[in-house]
Chain A
Amino acid sequence: MIQTVEKYYFDGTWTNTYIITYTNNETVQAPHDTANRHYQEILEWVAAGNTITDPGA
């Protein structure tokens, strides 16, 4: 189950990816791509009322 989702930046630029942290502390880096199953999980998580953290550049 997803605990948090955060946009991942490198050198001040968003990498088009997200860091998912699950409740068991496992992390997965998912691309912003609707064909990716982890990104599909993010969309469901957001639809359930959760918010992606954006630490900014």
Chain B
Amino acid sequence: MGYIGNFPTALPLTSSDLPDDIVTSAKIADGTITATDTDGSIGKPAFKNLIINGDMSIAQRGTSTSSVSGNGYFASDRFKNIIGSLGTWTVSQSTDVPTGQGFATSLKMDCTTADASPSASDNNMVAQIIEGQNAQLLKKGTSNAESVTLSFWVKSNKTGTYICELYDVDNTRQISQAYTISSSNTWEKKTLSYVGDTTGTLDNDNGASLQLNFFLATGSDRSSGTLSTTWTSVTNANRAVGQVNLADSTSNEWYVTGVQLEVGEFDSTTIPSFPFESYASNLQKCKRYFQYSVMGYYGDTSGGGYGGAATFAVEHRATPSYLSAYSSIIEANNRFNTTVIANANNLSQYGLLAQKAQSASNDSGYYFAKMATDAEL
């Protein structure tokens, strides 16, 4: 084709040059688009990280709890401390994070009472427990069982071998992998792969099915055998072989953040970047397991009881417990009792009803309270 004047300049084709639907799959040769042309999301499940609150940004119960020596949820939401007679700890949400990785918070375990010689059955883990209905994508117990890869950032003054375990609660099976903290007080990124398990399907329900355990210390009952690095029926002695004792000094601390459990087998170079999400989105997920709701009451009363109902912002996983210790008065008229309602009349996964006696009578007033409920696994 001939041109009068300047030859047209070649410009890159943009999406605005292409009418909708003009590029069909038939026009793209097989194999043209590879994983390196994408962000790694093609062919993968829509929700990539099986772990909730992996960046430790949500801490609804509070940012620090001291004197922790038993099981429970304390700082970062969804992460459970499982401690059986192995040290006393302050559990906190820390701002000590790996530099330049986008994280603002980590979970910190700080030993405040040491136990240098654990008894055989003693144990100490940080865990996250996953509902069975959220783990069906692993196809566990089938011939198509998926491998998974665990990635996280960790830091401790206590160097040496640590164990991360996946525990199948439904079928009492487990698999462990060891990692090494090489440099004292230095953030290190760890990537551990776990093969798929063709035995033992996970229940498709709201119960506990898969548990990720970060061992921090353990007695000989869980460490005297040979580390089980393939899925097998649980033999306690093979679960945490080689685990250092983080509880052996009150100088010891352990931090973790960026916890990511992804379907597929990756190494430290191929693992997709941490799937950050907004604070609000992360909080919504956590509220299925713990949340605050507001209950208000205003009335003109001549005495007797008062109370109200609260609708949960997010449906709880199951019927929750009511935690008066975490509940508080936002505001109350002094004619109304200004202490927290101790007990609920009715609890369901959708809301609660609570009522109590009035401390004064014959006038109007109001009561506005923040009620804490827990449906953790």
The residues of A with any CB-CB pair to B shorter than 8 Å are 1, 8, 10, 15-17, 19, 26-31, 33, 35-38
Partner of A28, one of B207, B318, B319, B321: B321
The answer to whether A38 touches B321, judged by C-beta atoms less than 8 angstroms apart, is yes
A8-B321 CB under 8 A given contacts A1-B70, A37-B377: no
Closest residue of A by beta carbon distance from B324? A27
The answer to whether B347 touches A28, judged by C-beta atoms less than 8 angstroms apart, is no
Partner of A36, one of B321, B342, B343, B344: B321
CB distance from B373 to the nearest CB of A (A): 9
B362 lies within 8 A of chain A by Cβ: no
**What B residues does A33 contact at CB under 8 A?**
318-319
In Å, the complex CA distance between A30 and B322 comes to: 7
The answer to whether B320 touches A36, judged by C-beta atoms less than 8 angstroms apart, is yes
**What B residues does A16 contact at CB under 8 A?**
347
The 7 A-B residue pairs whose C-beta atoms are closest, nearest first, are: A35-B318, A31-B319, A33-B319, A29-B322, A38-B321, A30-B321, A10-B345
Contact mask B327-360 → A, CB, 8 Å, 1/0? 0000000000000001111110000000100000
The answer to whether B319 touches A8, judged by C-beta atoms less than 8 angstroms apart, is no
Tell me the count of chain B residues lying within 8 A, CB to CB, of chain A: 23
In Å, the complex CA distance between A36 and B189 comes to: 35
A36-B318 CB under 8 A given contacts A1-B70, A10-B355, A27-B325: yes
Count: A-B pairs, CB below 8 Å? 55
The residues of B with any CB-CB pair to A shorter than 8 Å are 70, 206-207, 317-325, 342-347, 355, 374-377
**What A residues does B374 contact at CB under 8 A?**
28, 37-38
SS of A interface (majority): strand
The answer to whether A29 touches B343, judged by C-beta atoms less than 8 angstroms apart, is yes
In Å, the complex CA distance between A17 and B376 comes to: 17
A-B contact list, 19 entries, CB within 8 Å = A8-B343, A10-B345, A15-B344, A15-B345, A17-B343, A17-B344, A27-B325, A28-B374, A30-B321, A31-B319, A31-B321, A31-B347, A33-B318, A35-B206, A35-B207, A35-B317, A36-B318, A36-B320, A36-B375
**What A residues does B321 contact at CB under 8 A?**
28-31, 36-38
The residue in B318, B319, B345, B355 that gathers the most chain A C-beta atoms within 10 A of its C-beta is B319
The answer to whether B324 touches A17, judged by C-beta atoms less than 8 angstroms apart, is no
The answer to whether B320 touches A28, judged by C-beta atoms less than 8 angstroms apart, is no
The answer to whether A28 touches B323, judged by C-beta atoms less than 8 angstroms apart, is yes
The answer to whether A36 touches B319, judged by C-beta atoms less than 8 angstroms apart, is yes
Closest residue of A by beta carbon distance from B344? A29
**What A residues does B322 contact at CB under 8 A?**
17, 28-29
CB distance from B305 to the nearest CB of A (A): 9
In Å, the complex CA distance between A33 and B22 comes to: 56
**What A residues does B70 contact at CB under 8 A?**
1
The answer to whether A37 touches B376, judged by C-beta atoms less than 8 angstroms apart, is yes
- A15-B346, A15-B347, A31-B321 are known; give 5 further A-B pairs, CB within 8 A: A10-B345, A17-B322, A28-B374, A31-B320, A33-B319
The residue in A26, A33, A37, A38 that gathers the most chain B C-beta atoms within 10 A of its C-beta is A37
CB distance from B55 to the nearest CB of A (A): 24
**What B residues does A31 contact at CB under 8 A?**
319-321, 347
**What B residues does A26 contact at CB under 8 A?**
325
In Å, the complex CA distance between A28 and B73 comes to: 14
A35-B319 CB under 8 A given contacts A27-B325, A29-B324: yes
**What B residues does A27 contact at CB under 8 A?**
324-325, 342
Closest residue of B by beta carbon distance from A11? B345
**What A residues does B345 contact at CB under 8 A?**
10, 15
In Å, the complex CA distance between A29 and B325 comes to: 10
In Å, the complex CA distance between A46 and B201 comes to: 30
Closest residue of A by beta carbon distance from B325? A26
**What B residues does A8 contact at CB under 8 A?**
343
In Å, the complex CA distance between A16 and B374 comes to: 16
In Å, the complex CA distance between A10 and B317 comes to: 25
**What A residues does B320 contact at CB under 8 A?**
31, 36
Closest residue of B by beta carbon distance from A41? B71
